[in-house]
Amino acid sequence: MWALTALLLLATLEKPILSLHPPWTTIFKGERVTLKCDGYHPLLLELRPISTLWYLGHLLLPSHKKSIEVQTPGVYRCQTRGAPVSDPIHLSVSNDWLILQVPYTPVFEGEPLVLRCRGWYDKVVYKLHYYHDGQAVRYFHSSANYTVLQARASDSGRYQCSGTMRIPVESAPMFSAKVAVTVQEARHSAAVRVLQVQPCGAPLRLGRRVHSPGAGGRGAGIVLVRGGYRHPQCPETQSVAAAPGAGFSPGPGLHHRPTGRSLGSWK
């Protein structure tokens, strides 16, 4: 019984995962996208199903379904009972002929970065150029995605695309709005916190290190053991769980006053 209670209390601390389908943060005016909220639903604690709360900025939306279709620009979040508010998704809506679409998920070093230059309602874009901080980085004869196979910090910056469309005759070159892209520190170096190993008998200090081999095979290394780390020459060292801290930092949103329940509250 106590074990079940502990598991339920731990589960309530998990943020729901908010996802976007299709996975692009900029769409054309009149288009709709689907937001899906995957979170903890403590059905064992209540006899009735648990609904989902949706926020646009700080405005509480009327829907309580697990997924919703939206077309209004702004900052979206979701929440399930007993859980914190999800991380935000920023949706932009454009009335331009060209838009540059980037994925809503964070891009980490070493992972692919995919950019999509899209013509109005999927018209083919010809003489397509992609730009990074004002410099042309790729040319395509017609519509194609620009992919950086292994993104680096230097790939961060402002991206833009240009091209022509046949509407019905070929147009002059048109440019998309610029979009800021940030390539974040690699997952393993940003998220993993390990123990900085000290000589046997010395206190252990918590720090940020991914790999610390002994020089030339000598000295202390770091050995992974079931969610913790131990000194390879001090078997009596106790394993300590290594997990990053996490917090919710609201981004800019629409400035509406909620008329009912406020963000993060439940009746």
Find tokens 């399930």 and name the residue.
80
Mean of pLDDT over the chain = 75
Find tokens 């042309």 and name the residue.
136
Please say if the pLDDT value at position 85 is more than 80.
Answer: yes
Q: Mean of the pLDDT values across residues 5-22?
A: 73
Please say if the pLDDT value at position 214 is more than 90.
Answer: no
pLDDT at 259: 40
Please say if the pLDDT value at position 240 is more than 70.
Answer: no
pLDDT at 14: 83
Q: Mean of the pLDDT values across residues 211-228?
A: 39
How does DSSP classify residue 226? T
Contact present, 115 and 91 (Cβ < 8 Å): no
Phi, psi of 91 (to 5 degrees): -110, 130
pLDDT tens figures, 151-160: 999 999 999 9
Please say if the pLDDT value at position 200 is more than 70.
Answer: no
Residue ranges covered by each domain of the chain: 12-95, 96-187
List the single range of 60-74, 142-156, 197-211 with lowest mean pLDDT: 197-211
- Are 12-95 and 96-187 the same fold in CATH? yes
pLDDT at 103: 92
Query: Residue type for 141, please?
Result: H
pLDDT at 139: 98
Residue 91, SS3 per DSSP: strand
Q: What percent of the chain has pLDDT over 70?
A: 61
Please say if the pLDDT value at position 256 is more than 90.
Answer: no
Q: Mean of the pLDDT values across residues 159-170?
A: 93
Give, in words, the CATH class of 12-95.
mainly beta
Top mean-pLDDT range of 20-29, 165-174, 209-218 = 20-29
pLDDT at 80: 86
Q: Mean of the pLDDT values across residues 115-129?
A: 96
Give, in words, the CATH class of 96-187.
mainly beta
Cα 5 versus chain centre, distance: 31
pLDDT at 48: 55
Neighbours of 197 (CB within 10 A): 25
Top mean-pLDDT range of 63-67, 161-165, 203-207, 249-253 = 161-165
